[in-house]
Amino acid sequence: MLTIRLIFESLGFAFKALKSNLLRTILSLLGVTIGIFSIIAVLTLVDSLEKNIRDSFNFLGSNVIYVGKWPFTGGSGRDWWKDYVKRPNVAYSEYKFLKANMKTAKTVSIYAAAGNITAKVKNSSINQLNLRGAGQDFDQIFEMNLEKGRYLTNDEIEGGRNIVILGYEVANSLFPKDDPIGQQVKIKNLKFNVVGVLKREGESFLGTPSNDFGCIIPYESFRKLYQTGTGRWSELGSSVGLKGFDTDIGLVELENEARGLMRVKRGLKPIQKDNFALNRPEAIANAIGSVFDVLSVAGWIIGGFSMLVGGFGIANIMFVSVKERTSIIGLQKSLGAKNYFILFQFLFESIFLSLIGGLAGLILVWLLTLVPFGSLQVILSIKNIVLGLGVSSVIGLVAGIVPAAMAARLDPVIAIRAT
């Protein structure tokens, strides 16, 4: 009950201080506002960048390891010429070997891709498309959300049937008025029957491949159009996707088993290095994680100076407030108010004033999220809101502790005589 009364009294004193010295208060709290804005704005932009970048790689699926010729994160020029170019492409027989022997994989699928493809329907055409040849369970590795129609069956995939699933924009371009299901599309001078249309994905932040401008055909049908052998200079290489179980934390078991089986299949000796790559989608985002850390530190440094100025501003307000209310403090203590009562009264007031500055900074950050940044979606998270309010409270506590302690230690007889 005492605490509640104390809080309400402190709020009342704070409001009076705001009204009586509005300009002084605004100027003093400006440092806290700018500091919170600087810190939370940078953290919000960093979090939004990281989320958008990670979302851009959602097309690679989750909980998946890819077996291929090239590493996702690249390598030095020397490694590229000395090692990577000499590697063979992943063979179809290796996919079959992995599919038959993998014990820690939930799903195993092979796929290949080609770019700059043109799809035609009578006098209409659309170019610069991505064409993917999908093996069995390809839809379990990647996110294949159908808007209409169906996915490829295993018989169609193994038999190399000329059927195709169109991306959203491809279907709208070739069949603006008609239902594409059951229609025919010509790709590389071969006719493919449309069995499905994917849902719209929209443009990603990094411009990563989108299913909106893609076509999916059976892997065996893809091999009719392109050479996907194991030779070093094959026209196109294939990759194998391995989806792990949720119980395999970090996919450690999956990676170790895949590496062992690939080395056995390729007859590598213990002293020989891997001539294949085991890629993880998160490796791409982790490679640029250090950039986000640097930006976050920069935001804290920039905002820290502003917060320091703001803290001195609040301390100044509290020293003036103690001076102006010295006689009131003396009266309260003469009527039996304890030292902690006076101490908490001024601490609550200091924290409340700092929170006002912090809320103003958060409002500015929220207004920043309303500004369009193209494909970058800026979102003010609950975590950053709580962080901003928490930092504001700490600044108010630190800035008010000395003035509050001075007020609590005042002698009631001397204080009540102050004018």
Of 272, 271, 267, 244, the C-alpha closest to 257 is 244
- Mean pLDDT, range 46-60, rounded to an integer: 68
Do 241 and 130 share a domain, yes or no? yes
Which pLDDT value is given to residue 166? 92
Same domain assignment for residues 258 and 329: no
Q: 402 is in which domain, residue-wise?
A: 2-55+289-417
243 touches 141 (CB < 8 A)? yes
Domain boundary (210, 241, 275) is at 275
* CA angle in degrees (0–180, nearest 5) for 138-143-147: 105
What is the pLDDT averaged over residues 95-101? 90
**Mean pLDDT of the 272-300 span:** 74
Same domain, 112 and 248: yes
3-state secondary structure the chain: CHHHHHHHHHHHHHHHHHHHCHHHHHHHHHHHHHHHHHHHHHHHHHHHHHHHHHHHCHHHCCCEEEEECCCCCCCCHHHHHHHHCCCCCECHHHHHHHHHHCCCEEEEEEEEEEEEEEEEECCEEEEEEEEEEECCCHHHHCCCCEEEECCCCHHHHHHCCCEEEECHHHHHHHCCCCCCCCCEEEECCEEEEEEEEECCCCCCCCCCCCHHHEEEEEHHHHHHHCCCCCCCCCCCCEEEEEEECCCCHHHHHHHHHHHHHHHHHHCCCCCCCCCCEEECHHHHHHHCHHHHHHHHHHHHHHHHHHHHHHHHHHHHHHHHHHHHCHHHHHHHHHCCCCHHHHHHHHHHHHHHHHHHHHHHHHHHHHHHHCCCECCECCCCCHHHHHHHHHHHHHHHHHHHHHHHHHHHCCCHHHHHHCC
Domain identity same for 358 and 319: yes
% pLDDT > 70, the chain: 81
Instruction: Using the structure block, give the residue that is written with the tokens 């309010």.
Output: 389
Same domain, 31 and 100: no
Write out pLDDT tens, residues 247-262: 877 788 888 999 999 9
Instruction: Give the model's confidence band at 233: pLDDT under 50 very low, under 70 low, under 90 confident, else very high.
Output: very low
Instruction: Among 241, 275, 309, identify where a domain stops.
Output: 275
Mean pLDDT of 257-279: 88
Establish if 94 belongs to a structural domain. Answer: yes
d(CA 358, CA 329): 28
Report how far residue 391's alpha carbon sits from residue 365's, in angstroms, rounded to the nearest whole number: 15
Single-letter residue type at 143: E
Q: How far apart are CA 303 and CA 25, in angstroms?
A: 20
State how many domains the chain has. Answer: 2
Within-domain flag for 17: yes
Mean pLDDT, residues 311-323: 79
Residues 183-217 pLDDT 10s: 999 998 889 999 999 988 776 555 556 778 889 99
In a domain, residue 281? The reply is no
User: Measuring CA to CA, which residue among 196, 192, 195, 130 is closest to residue 161?
Assistant: 192
Within this chain, do residues 92 and 33 fall inside the same structural domain, yes or no? no
| Residues 270 and 296 both lie in one domain | no
Residue 257 and residue 326 in one domain? no
CB distance 258 to 278 below 8 Å: yes
Q: Is residue 69 part of a domain?
A: no
241/309 same-domain check: no
pLDDT greater than 80 at residue 237: no
Q: Would you say 86 and 275 are in contact if contact means Cβ atoms under 8 Å apart?
A: yes
Q: Identify whether residues 179 and 109 lie together within a single domain.
A: yes
Q: What does the pLDDT average to over 10-38? A: 72
Q: What's the pLDDT tens digit per position in 128-176?
A: 888 988 888 888 888 778 889 999 988 888 888 999 999 888 889 898 8
Do 221 and 268 lie in one domain? The reply is yes
**Quick check: is 60 in a domain?**
no
Quote the CA–CA distance of 218 and 224 in Å, as a whole number. Answer: 10
- Domain presence at residue 78: no
Mean pLDDT of the chain: 80
Of the residues 221, 248, 275, the one at which a domain ends: 275
Q: Report pLDDT digits (tens) over 343-397.
A: 777 788 788 888 888 888 889 888 888 877 766 677 888 888 888 888 888 888 8
The winner for highest mean pLDDT among 48-52, 272-276, 292-296, 310-314 is: 272-276
258 and 397 assigned to the same domain: no
- Is residue 339 in a domain? yes
Residue 81 inside a domain? The answer is no
Nearest to 392 by CA among 23, 36, 13: 36
